[in-house]
Structure 1
Protein backbone atom coordinates (compact mmCIF):
# COMPACT_ATOMS: atom_id res chain seq x y z
CA UNK A 1 0.00 0.00 0.00
CA UNK A 2 1.27 3.46 -0.92
CA UNK A 3 2.39 5.73 1.89
CA UNK A 4 -0.15 8.31 2.99
CA UNK A 5 0.32 11.73 1.43
CA UNK A 6 -0.50 14.71 3.67
CA UNK A 7 -1.84 17.80 1.87
CA UNK A 8 -2.72 21.11 3.52
CA UNK A 9 -5.14 23.46 1.73
CA UNK A 10 -5.71 26.92 3.19
CA UNK A 11 -8.97 28.80 2.77
CA UNK A 12 -10.62 25.40 2.40
CA UNK A 13 -14.19 26.06 3.50
CA UNK A 14 -15.38 27.54 0.18
CA UNK A 15 -14.56 28.14 -3.48
CA UNK A 16 -11.28 26.88 -4.89
CA UNK A 17 -10.03 25.61 -1.53
CA UNK A 18 -13.22 23.64 -0.96
CA UNK A 19 -13.20 22.04 -4.40
CA UNK A 20 -9.47 21.37 -4.23
CA UNK A 21 -9.88 19.63 -0.88
CA UNK A 22 -12.45 17.28 -2.35
CA UNK A 23 -10.55 16.70 -5.61
CA UNK A 24 -7.37 15.78 -3.74
CA UNK A 25 -9.16 13.53 -1.25
CA UNK A 26 -11.14 11.83 -4.01
CA UNK A 27 -8.07 11.22 -6.17
CA UNK A 28 -6.48 8.51 -4.04
CA UNK A 29 -7.11 6.51 -0.86
CA UNK A 30 -3.54 7.45 0.10
CA UNK A 31 -4.34 11.16 0.18
CA UNK A 32 -5.21 12.88 3.44
CA UNK A 33 -6.31 16.50 3.07
CA UNK A 34 -6.07 18.94 5.98
CA UNK A 35 -8.64 21.67 5.46
CA UNK A 36 -7.17 24.87 6.89
CA UNK A 37 -10.01 27.24 7.78
CA UNK A 38 -10.12 30.55 9.63
CA UNK A 39 -13.63 29.83 10.92
CA UNK A 40 -14.03 26.48 12.65
CA UNK A 41 -17.82 26.65 12.27
CA UNK A 42 -17.64 27.14 8.51
CA UNK A 43 -14.85 24.61 8.29
CA UNK A 44 -16.83 21.98 10.18
CA UNK A 45 -19.79 22.43 7.82
CA UNK A 46 -17.53 22.14 4.78
CA UNK A 47 -15.80 19.05 6.17
CA UNK A 48 -19.14 17.37 6.86
CA UNK A 49 -20.33 18.10 3.32
CA UNK A 50 -17.19 16.70 1.71
CA UNK A 51 -17.10 13.60 3.90
CA UNK A 52 -20.73 12.93 2.96
CA UNK A 53 -19.56 12.59 -0.65
CA UNK A 54 -17.40 9.64 0.47
CA UNK A 55 -14.06 10.41 -1.20
CA UNK A 56 -11.53 7.60 -1.55
CA UNK A 57 -9.11 9.46 0.71
CA UNK A 58 -9.63 11.22 4.02
CA UNK A 59 -10.05 14.77 5.30
CA UNK A 60 -9.62 16.62 8.57
CA UNK A 61 -10.15 20.16 9.84
CA UNK A 62 -7.55 22.59 11.15
CA UNK A 63 -8.10 26.10 12.49
CA UNK A 64 -5.75 28.36 10.56
CA UNK A 65 -5.74 32.09 9.94
CA UNK A 66 -2.74 33.00 7.80
CA UNK A 67 -2.72 36.53 9.29
CA UNK A 68 -2.50 35.24 12.85
CA UNK A 69 0.88 33.89 13.97
CA UNK A 70 -0.54 32.13 17.01
CA UNK A 71 -2.87 30.04 14.85
CA UNK A 72 0.00 29.31 12.46
CA UNK A 73 2.15 28.03 15.33
CA UNK A 74 -0.73 25.97 16.71
CA UNK A 75 -1.41 24.55 13.25
CA UNK A 76 2.23 23.57 12.75
CA UNK A 77 2.29 21.92 16.18
CA UNK A 78 -0.92 20.03 15.38
CA UNK A 79 0.34 18.76 12.01
CA UNK A 80 3.63 17.76 13.63
CA UNK A 81 1.88 15.82 16.37
CA UNK A 82 -0.71 14.15 14.11
CA UNK A 83 1.34 13.40 10.99
CA UNK A 84 4.99 14.34 11.49
CA UNK A 85 5.30 15.39 7.85
CA UNK A 86 3.70 17.60 5.20
CA UNK A 87 3.89 16.55 1.54
CA UNK A 88 2.03 19.38 -0.15
CA UNK A 89 0.91 22.90 0.74
CA UNK A 90 -1.70 24.75 -1.29
CA UNK A 91 -1.57 28.41 -0.28
CA UNK A 92 -5.08 29.27 -1.41
CA UNK A 93 -6.47 31.62 1.26
CA UNK A 94 -6.90 35.13 -0.12
CA UNK A 95 -9.04 38.26 -0.05
CA UNK A 96 -10.25 40.95 -2.42
CA UNK A 97 -11.54 43.95 -0.50
CA UNK A 98 -14.54 45.84 -1.83
CA UNK A 99 -15.72 49.14 -0.34
CA UNK A 100 -12.56 49.62 1.71
CA UNK A 101 -12.74 52.07 4.61
CA UNK A 102 -9.48 53.70 3.59
CA UNK A 103 -6.77 53.17 1.02
CA UNK A 104 -3.89 52.32 3.33
CA UNK A 105 -5.76 49.61 5.24
CA UNK A 106 -7.08 48.16 1.97
CA UNK A 107 -3.54 47.71 0.64
CA UNK A 108 -1.97 46.53 3.89
CA UNK A 109 -4.77 44.08 4.75
CA UNK A 110 -4.70 42.63 1.23
CA UNK A 111 -0.92 42.21 1.29
CA UNK A 112 -1.05 40.69 4.76
CA UNK A 113 -3.48 37.96 3.71
CA UNK A 114 -2.42 37.36 0.11
CA UNK A 115 1.35 37.68 0.37
CA UNK A 116 2.75 37.87 3.89
CA UNK A 117 0.46 35.11 5.21
CA UNK A 118 1.47 32.47 2.64
CA UNK A 119 5.16 33.25 3.03
CA UNK A 120 5.12 33.17 6.84
CA UNK A 121 3.03 29.99 6.87
CA UNK A 122 5.28 28.26 4.35
CA UNK A 123 8.40 29.13 6.31
CA UNK A 124 6.81 27.83 9.52
CA UNK A 125 6.04 24.54 7.76
CA UNK A 126 9.49 24.02 6.25
CA UNK A 127 10.65 21.47 8.86
CA UNK A 128 7.62 19.31 7.99
CA UNK A 129 7.98 19.80 4.24
CA UNK A 130 11.66 18.84 4.46
CA UNK A 131 10.61 15.45 5.85
CA UNK A 132 8.59 14.69 2.71
CA UNK A 133 10.02 12.59 -0.11
CA UNK A 134 8.19 14.78 -2.63
CA UNK A 135 7.47 18.25 -1.16
CA UNK A 136 5.24 20.54 -3.23
CA UNK A 137 4.09 24.12 -2.69
CA UNK A 138 1.39 25.74 -4.82
CA UNK A 139 0.78 29.46 -4.36
CA UNK A 140 -2.62 30.43 -5.76
CA UNK A 141 -1.95 33.66 -7.61
CA UNK A 142 -3.87 35.49 -10.34
CA UNK A 143 -3.46 36.79 -13.88
CA UNK A 144 -3.97 40.20 -12.27
CA UNK A 145 -0.58 39.76 -10.65
CA UNK A 146 1.27 39.56 -13.97
CA UNK A 147 3.28 42.74 -14.46
CA UNK A 148 3.76 41.83 -18.13
CA UNK A 149 0.01 41.54 -18.73
CA UNK A 150 -0.72 44.83 -16.93
CA UNK A 151 0.63 46.65 -19.97
CA UNK A 152 -1.53 44.70 -22.46
CA UNK A 153 -4.58 46.83 -23.27
CA UNK A 154 -6.13 44.02 -25.33
CA UNK A 155 -6.88 41.88 -22.29
CA UNK A 156 -10.47 41.75 -21.03
CA UNK A 157 -9.43 42.62 -17.48
CA UNK A 158 -7.10 45.49 -18.46
CA UNK A 159 -9.61 48.10 -17.30
CA UNK A 160 -9.92 46.62 -13.80
CA UNK A 161 -7.83 48.79 -11.43
CA UNK A 162 -7.68 46.45 -8.39
CA UNK A 163 -4.33 47.90 -7.38
CA UNK A 164 -4.19 46.31 -3.92
CA UNK A 165 -5.09 42.86 -5.23
CA UNK A 166 -2.77 43.15 -8.24
CA UNK A 167 0.12 44.25 -6.02
CA UNK A 168 -0.47 41.42 -3.55
CA UNK A 169 -0.44 38.75 -6.25
CA UNK A 170 2.61 40.24 -8.00
CA UNK A 171 4.36 40.10 -4.62
CA UNK A 172 3.19 36.51 -4.12
CA UNK A 173 4.73 35.68 -7.49
CA UNK A 174 8.05 37.08 -6.27
CA UNK A 175 7.67 35.06 -3.06
CA UNK A 176 7.17 32.00 -5.28
CA UNK A 177 10.38 32.77 -7.18
CA UNK A 178 12.23 33.17 -3.88
CA UNK A 179 10.82 29.91 -2.53
CA UNK A 180 11.76 28.05 -5.69
CA UNK A 181 15.31 29.38 -5.58
CA UNK A 182 15.75 28.61 -1.88
CA UNK A 183 13.94 25.26 -1.69
CA UNK A 184 14.79 23.53 -4.98
CA UNK A 185 18.25 22.47 -3.72
CA UNK A 186 16.64 20.21 -1.11
CA UNK A 187 14.00 18.84 -3.47
CA UNK A 188 10.94 21.03 -3.09
CA UNK A 189 8.93 22.07 -6.13
CA UNK A 190 7.12 25.41 -6.10
CA UNK A 191 4.60 26.96 -8.48
CA UNK A 192 2.54 30.12 -8.77
CA UNK A 193 -0.85 29.09 -10.13
CA UNK A 194 -3.62 31.19 -11.65
CA UNK A 195 -6.97 29.47 -11.13
CA UNK A 196 -8.75 31.50 -13.81
CA UNK A 197 -12.00 33.43 -13.55
CA UNK A 198 -14.22 31.13 -11.51
CA UNK A 199 -17.23 31.35 -9.21
CA UNK A 200 -15.99 31.92 -5.64
CA UNK A 201 -16.68 34.09 -2.61
CA UNK A 202 -13.43 36.02 -3.13
CA UNK A 203 -15.15 39.36 -3.67
CA UNK A 204 -18.23 38.62 -1.59
CA UNK A 205 -21.29 36.41 -1.77
CA UNK A 206 -23.19 39.05 -3.75
CA UNK A 207 -20.63 38.84 -6.55
CA UNK A 208 -21.17 35.12 -7.17
CA UNK A 209 -24.17 35.61 -9.45
CA UNK A 210 -22.41 38.41 -11.32
CA UNK A 211 -19.49 36.09 -11.95
CA UNK A 212 -21.85 33.45 -13.34
CA UNK A 213 -23.46 36.01 -15.63
CA UNK A 214 -20.04 37.02 -16.89
CA UNK A 215 -19.23 33.45 -17.83
CA UNK A 216 -17.05 32.43 -14.90
CA UNK A 217 -16.23 28.72 -14.73
CA UNK A 218 -16.85 26.42 -11.80
CA UNK A 219 -14.08 26.39 -9.19
CA UNK A 220 -13.90 22.65 -9.87
CA UNK A 221 -11.90 23.48 -13.02
CA UNK A 222 -9.28 25.17 -10.86
CA UNK A 223 -9.25 22.24 -8.46
CA UNK A 224 -8.64 19.84 -11.34
CA UNK A 225 -5.66 21.91 -12.47
CA UNK A 226 -4.21 22.02 -8.96
CA UNK A 227 -4.59 18.25 -8.74
CA UNK A 228 -2.55 17.91 -11.94
CA UNK A 229 0.28 19.77 -10.22
CA UNK A 230 -0.06 17.67 -7.07
CA UNK A 231 0.04 14.50 -9.14
CA UNK A 232 3.26 15.43 -10.93
CA UNK A 233 1.87 16.26 -14.36
CA UNK A 234 3.52 19.69 -14.44
CA UNK A 235 6.81 18.95 -12.74
CA UNK A 236 8.73 20.30 -15.71
CA UNK A 237 7.19 23.71 -15.02
CA UNK A 238 8.22 23.99 -11.37
CA UNK A 239 9.34 27.52 -10.65
CA UNK A 240 6.87 28.90 -13.19
CA UNK A 241 3.63 30.91 -13.18
CA UNK A 242 1.18 28.36 -14.56
CA UNK A 243 -2.50 28.37 -15.40
CA UNK A 244 -5.18 25.89 -16.38
CA UNK A 245 -5.11 23.79 -19.57
CA UNK A 246 -1.35 23.39 -19.59
CA UNK A 247 -0.70 27.09 -20.16
CA UNK A 248 1.57 29.61 -18.48
CA UNK A 249 1.64 33.32 -17.70
CA UNK A 250 4.59 35.63 -18.05
CA UNK A 251 5.64 37.15 -14.73
Structure 2
Protein backbone atom coordinates (compact mmCIF):
# COMPACT_ATOMS: atom_id res chain seq x y z
CA UNK A 1 0.00 0.00 0.00
CA UNK A 2 1.54 3.35 -1.01
CA UNK A 3 1.54 6.23 1.47
CA UNK A 4 -0.37 9.37 0.52
CA UNK A 5 1.77 12.14 -0.95
CA UNK A 6 3.07 14.74 1.47
CA UNK A 7 1.00 17.88 1.91
CA UNK A 8 2.00 21.50 2.41
CA UNK A 9 -0.44 22.89 4.98
CA UNK A 10 -0.55 26.56 5.98
CA UNK A 11 -2.38 27.65 9.15
CA UNK A 12 -2.96 31.31 10.02
CA UNK A 13 -3.08 32.48 13.63
CA UNK A 14 -1.32 29.30 14.70
CA UNK A 15 0.96 30.22 17.59
CA UNK A 16 -1.71 29.36 20.18
CA UNK A 17 -5.25 28.13 20.67
CA UNK A 18 -7.03 26.26 17.91
CA UNK A 19 -4.42 26.97 15.22
CA UNK A 20 -1.67 25.53 17.39
CA UNK A 21 -3.78 22.46 18.18
CA UNK A 22 -4.57 21.86 14.49
CA UNK A 23 -0.86 21.54 13.75
CA UNK A 24 -0.17 19.53 16.90
CA UNK A 25 -2.97 16.99 16.42
CA UNK A 26 -2.37 16.57 12.68
CA UNK A 27 1.39 16.23 13.08
CA UNK A 28 1.17 13.81 16.01
CA UNK A 29 -1.19 11.64 14.00
CA UNK A 30 1.54 11.20 11.38
CA UNK A 31 4.00 9.74 13.91
CA UNK A 32 6.34 7.91 13.66
CA UNK A 33 6.88 8.67 9.95
CA UNK A 34 5.79 12.29 9.34
CA UNK A 35 5.64 13.49 5.76
CA UNK A 36 3.59 16.69 5.76
CA UNK A 37 4.97 20.20 6.19
CA UNK A 38 3.07 22.62 8.42
CA UNK A 39 3.55 26.35 7.94
CA UNK A 40 2.81 27.99 11.29
CA UNK A 41 1.78 31.59 10.61
CA UNK A 42 1.45 34.31 13.23
CA UNK A 43 1.82 38.05 13.62
CA UNK A 44 4.57 37.81 16.28
CA UNK A 45 7.60 35.78 15.18
CA UNK A 46 8.89 35.44 18.75
CA UNK A 47 5.56 33.95 19.85
CA UNK A 48 5.68 31.69 16.81
CA UNK A 49 9.17 30.47 17.66
CA UNK A 50 8.02 29.58 21.17
CA UNK A 51 5.10 27.65 19.63
CA UNK A 52 7.49 25.71 17.38
CA UNK A 53 9.68 24.88 20.38
CA UNK A 54 6.63 23.74 22.33
CA UNK A 55 5.60 21.44 19.47
CA UNK A 56 9.08 19.97 19.40
CA UNK A 57 8.99 19.47 23.18
CA UNK A 58 5.71 17.56 22.72
CA UNK A 59 7.50 15.16 20.40
CA UNK A 60 6.29 16.53 17.08
CA UNK A 61 8.85 15.51 14.47
CA UNK A 62 7.06 16.79 11.36
CA UNK A 63 8.58 19.70 9.49
CA UNK A 64 7.25 22.92 11.03
CA UNK A 65 8.01 26.12 9.12
CA UNK A 66 7.49 29.51 10.76
CA UNK A 67 6.14 32.46 8.80
CA UNK A 68 5.24 35.99 9.88
CA UNK A 69 1.77 36.78 8.59
CA UNK A 70 -0.79 39.36 9.65
CA UNK A 71 -3.75 38.51 7.41
CA UNK A 72 -4.95 42.12 7.47
CA UNK A 73 -1.65 43.24 5.91
CA UNK A 74 -1.58 42.86 2.11
CA UNK A 75 2.20 43.26 1.92
CA UNK A 76 2.68 40.38 4.34
CA UNK A 77 0.20 38.24 2.41
CA UNK A 78 2.11 38.93 -0.81
CA UNK A 79 5.42 38.10 0.88
CA UNK A 80 3.96 34.88 2.31
CA UNK A 81 2.77 33.75 -1.12
CA UNK A 82 6.20 34.44 -2.61
CA UNK A 83 7.88 32.51 0.20
CA UNK A 84 5.64 29.47 -0.17
CA UNK A 85 6.08 29.54 -3.95
CA UNK A 86 9.87 29.75 -3.82
CA UNK A 87 10.21 27.21 -0.98
CA UNK A 88 7.56 24.60 -1.82
CA UNK A 89 6.16 25.42 -5.26
CA UNK A 90 2.58 24.72 -4.24
CA UNK A 91 0.10 24.80 -1.36
CA UNK A 92 -2.20 21.86 -0.62
CA UNK A 93 -4.28 23.17 2.28
CA UNK A 94 -4.96 26.74 3.41
CA UNK A 95 -6.53 26.96 6.87
CA UNK A 96 -7.91 30.43 7.55
CA UNK A 97 -7.90 30.29 11.35
CA UNK A 98 -6.83 33.80 12.41
CA UNK A 99 -9.60 35.51 14.32
CA UNK A 100 -10.42 37.67 17.31
CA UNK A 101 -13.30 38.88 19.46
CA UNK A 102 -13.04 42.64 18.95
CA UNK A 103 -14.83 44.88 21.43
CA UNK A 104 -15.52 48.63 20.97
CA UNK A 105 -13.09 50.76 22.95
CA UNK A 106 -16.03 52.79 24.26
CA UNK A 107 -19.77 53.27 23.59
CA UNK A 108 -19.40 56.03 21.00
CA UNK A 109 -20.70 55.44 17.48
CA UNK A 110 -17.22 55.80 15.90
CA UNK A 111 -15.85 53.17 18.31
CA UNK A 112 -18.72 50.80 17.57
CA UNK A 113 -18.27 51.30 13.82
CA UNK A 114 -14.54 50.65 14.12
CA UNK A 115 -15.14 47.40 16.04
CA UNK A 116 -17.54 46.20 13.33
CA UNK A 117 -15.19 47.24 10.54
CA UNK A 118 -12.20 45.51 12.14
CA UNK A 119 -14.19 42.33 12.84
CA UNK A 120 -15.59 42.11 9.31
CA UNK A 121 -12.18 42.88 7.82
CA UNK A 122 -10.50 40.12 9.81
CA UNK A 123 -13.11 37.40 9.34
CA UNK A 124 -14.38 38.14 5.82
CA UNK A 125 -12.24 40.49 3.74
CA UNK A 126 -8.91 39.09 4.91
CA UNK A 127 -10.06 35.50 4.38
CA UNK A 128 -11.10 36.42 0.85
CA UNK A 129 -7.86 38.23 0.09
CA UNK A 130 -5.64 35.47 1.51
CA UNK A 131 -7.60 32.76 -0.30
CA UNK A 132 -7.39 34.60 -3.63
CA UNK A 133 -3.68 35.33 -3.14
CA UNK A 134 -2.87 31.67 -2.53
CA UNK A 135 -5.15 30.34 -5.29
CA UNK A 136 -2.41 29.99 -7.95
CA UNK A 137 -0.39 27.83 -5.54
CA UNK A 138 -3.45 25.83 -4.52
CA UNK A 139 -4.11 25.02 -8.17
CA UNK A 140 -0.68 23.38 -8.32
CA UNK A 141 -1.84 20.83 -5.74
CA UNK A 142 -3.51 17.57 -6.81
CA UNK A 143 -6.15 17.97 -4.08
CA UNK A 144 -6.39 21.59 -2.90
CA UNK A 145 -8.53 22.65 0.04
CA UNK A 146 -9.41 25.89 1.84
CA UNK A 147 -10.74 25.40 5.36
CA UNK A 148 -12.31 28.41 7.07
CA UNK A 149 -12.92 28.49 10.81
CA UNK A 150 -16.46 29.59 11.57
CA UNK A 151 -18.63 29.33 14.70
CA UNK A 152 -21.83 27.71 15.84
CA UNK A 153 -23.40 31.17 16.07
CA UNK A 154 -22.90 31.55 12.32
CA UNK A 155 -25.74 29.10 11.77
CA UNK A 156 -28.76 31.40 11.59
CA UNK A 157 -31.07 28.44 12.04
CA UNK A 158 -29.31 27.40 15.24
CA UNK A 159 -29.20 30.93 16.64
CA UNK A 160 -32.94 31.36 16.11
CA UNK A 161 -33.88 28.02 17.62
CA UNK A 162 -31.36 27.39 20.43
CA UNK A 163 -29.67 29.31 23.22
CA UNK A 164 -26.29 30.32 21.86
CA UNK A 165 -23.71 33.04 22.41
CA UNK A 166 -24.72 36.60 21.69
CA UNK A 167 -22.17 38.91 20.10
CA UNK A 168 -23.58 40.64 16.99
CA UNK A 169 -20.29 41.85 15.43
CA UNK A 170 -18.59 38.47 15.74
CA UNK A 171 -21.71 36.49 14.83
CA UNK A 172 -22.42 38.63 11.77
CA UNK A 173 -18.82 38.29 10.60
CA UNK A 174 -19.02 34.51 10.79
CA UNK A 175 -22.36 34.47 8.96
CA UNK A 176 -20.58 36.50 6.29
CA UNK A 177 -17.67 34.04 6.30
CA UNK A 178 -20.08 31.18 5.68
CA UNK A 179 -21.60 33.07 2.75
CA UNK A 180 -18.17 33.94 1.36
CA UNK A 181 -17.17 30.27 1.49
CA UNK A 182 -20.30 29.18 -0.39
CA UNK A 183 -19.82 31.81 -3.09
CA UNK A 184 -16.13 30.98 -3.52
CA UNK A 185 -17.05 27.31 -3.92
CA UNK A 186 -19.74 27.89 -6.55
CA UNK A 187 -17.42 30.26 -8.43
CA UNK A 188 -14.76 27.55 -8.37
CA UNK A 189 -17.27 24.94 -9.54
CA UNK A 190 -18.32 27.19 -12.42
CA UNK A 191 -14.68 27.74 -13.40
CA UNK A 192 -13.99 24.01 -13.63
CA UNK A 193 -17.25 23.21 -15.40
CA UNK A 194 -16.92 26.08 -17.85
CA UNK A 195 -14.09 24.55 -19.84
CA UNK A 196 -11.43 26.47 -21.72
CA UNK A 197 -8.21 27.94 -20.38
CA UNK A 198 -9.82 29.03 -17.12
CA UNK A 199 -10.69 25.42 -16.31
CA UNK A 200 -7.07 24.33 -15.96
CA UNK A 201 -6.01 22.98 -12.60
CA UNK A 202 -7.92 20.92 -10.04
CA UNK A 203 -11.11 22.08 -8.32
CA UNK A 204 -10.46 23.65 -4.94
CA UNK A 205 -12.73 22.38 -2.18
CA UNK A 206 -13.84 25.08 0.27
CA UNK A 207 -15.12 24.27 3.77
CA UNK A 208 -16.23 25.99 6.92
CA UNK A 209 -15.88 24.19 10.23
CA UNK A 210 -17.41 24.85 13.64
CA UNK A 211 -14.92 23.67 16.28
CA UNK A 212 -17.25 24.59 19.13
CA UNK A 213 -16.55 26.78 22.18
CA UNK A 214 -13.02 25.97 23.31
CA UNK A 215 -10.81 26.63 26.32
CA UNK A 216 -8.64 29.33 24.73
CA UNK A 217 -7.58 32.91 25.39
CA UNK A 218 -10.24 33.90 22.85
CA UNK A 219 -12.99 33.43 25.47
CA UNK A 220 -10.95 33.68 28.65
CA UNK A 221 -10.50 29.87 28.76
CA UNK A 222 -14.18 29.42 29.62
CA UNK A 223 -15.07 27.00 26.82
CA UNK A 224 -16.16 23.45 27.62
CA UNK A 225 -13.90 21.74 25.06
CA UNK A 226 -10.14 21.55 24.66
CA UNK A 227 -8.52 23.07 21.56
CA UNK A 228 -7.34 19.59 20.60
CA UNK A 229 -10.96 18.41 20.50
CA UNK A 230 -11.89 21.41 18.37
CA UNK A 231 -9.04 20.66 15.97
CA UNK A 232 -10.42 17.21 15.14
CA UNK A 233 -12.90 18.42 12.50
CA UNK A 234 -10.13 20.28 10.66
CA UNK A 235 -7.67 17.40 10.88
CA UNK A 236 -10.21 15.01 9.35
CA UNK A 237 -10.85 17.35 6.43
CA UNK A 238 -7.12 17.79 5.85
CA UNK A 239 -6.68 14.01 5.70
CA UNK A 240 -9.59 13.45 3.28
CA UNK A 241 -7.99 12.43 -0.02
CA UNK A 242 -11.01 10.69 -1.55
CA UNK A 243 -13.47 13.58 -1.66
CA UNK A 244 -15.82 12.06 0.90
CA UNK A 245 -16.51 15.52 2.29
CA UNK A 246 -17.96 17.56 -0.56
CA UNK A 247 -16.79 21.14 -0.89
CA UNK A 248 -19.08 24.01 0.01
CA UNK A 249 -20.17 22.35 3.25
CA UNK A 250 -20.23 23.26 6.95
CA UNK A 251 -18.88 20.62 9.36
CA UNK A 252 -18.44 19.96 13.05
CA UNK A 253 -17.13 16.94 14.98
CA UNK A 254 -19.22 15.69 17.89
CA UNK A 255 -19.44 12.41 19.78
CA UNK A 256 -17.04 10.69 17.43
CA UNK A 257 -18.80 11.72 14.21
CA UNK A 258 -18.43 14.33 11.51
CA UNK A 259 -21.73 16.17 11.19
CA UNK A 260 -22.98 18.77 8.77
CA UNK A 261 -24.23 21.98 10.35
CA UNK A 262 -27.24 23.82 8.90
CA UNK A 263 -26.36 27.14 7.34
Which residue number in structure 1 is paired with residue 23 of structure 2? 21
1:247 matched to 2:256? The reply is no
For the 8 Å contact 1:7–1:88, the answer to whether it is kept is yes
Q: Does the 8 A contact of 1:24 with 1:31 survive in 2?
A: no
Q: How far 1:190 moved relative to its partner?
A: 1.1
Deviation at 1:56, TM superposition (A): 4.2
Q: TM-score, normalised by structure 2?
A: 0.86
CA shift for structure 1 position 225: 1.8
Which among 109, 113, 117 is matched to residue 108 of structure 1? 117
Question: What are the equivalent positions in structure 2 for 1:87-106 lying under 5 Å apart?
Answer: 87-98=92-103, 100-101=105-106, 102-106=111-115
CA root-mean-square deviation: 1.6
SS at match of 1:84: coil
Measure the CA separation in 2 of the matches of 1:162 and 1:72: 29
Of the three residues 4, 7, 29, the one matched with 1:5 is: 7
Cα distance between partner residues in 2 of 1:141 and 1:71: 23
1:117 aligns with 2:126: yes
Q: C-alpha distance in 1, partners of 2:249/2:233?
A: 14
Shift of 1:177: 0.3
Supply the distance in 2 between the matched residues of 1:192 and 1:224 (Cα, whole angstroms).
Answer: 13
Give the corresponding residue for 2:198. none
1:218 maps to which residue? 226
Q: What are structure 1's unaligned runs of at least 5 residues? A: none
Q: Do structure 1's residue 238 and structure 2's residue 247 form an aligned pair?
A: yes
Aligned to 1:181: 186
1:59-138 to 2 correspondences below 5 Å: 59-98=64-103, 100-101=105-106, 102-138=111-147
Number of residue-to-residue matches in the alignment: 239
Q: Distance in 2 between matches of 1:93 and 1:80?
A: 21
2:53 corresponds to 1:41: no
From 164, 185, 206, give the equivalent of 1:190: 206
Displacement of 1:243 after TM fit?
0.9
Distance in 1 (alpha carbons) for counterparts of 2:234 and 2:138: 18
Contact kept? 2:81, 2:134, Cα under 8 Å: yes
1:124, 1:237 → 2: CA distance?
Answer: 23
Where do 4+ consecutive residues of structure 1 move more than 6 Å? none
Identify the residue that residue 200 of structure 1 maps to in structure 2: 216
Among candidates 157, 160, 163, match of residue 148 of structure 1: 157
Q: CA deviation at 1:236?
A: 3.0
- Structure 1 CA distance, aligned partners of 2:47 and 2:7? 25
Bigger Cα Rg: 2
1:57, 1:18 → 2: CA distance?
14
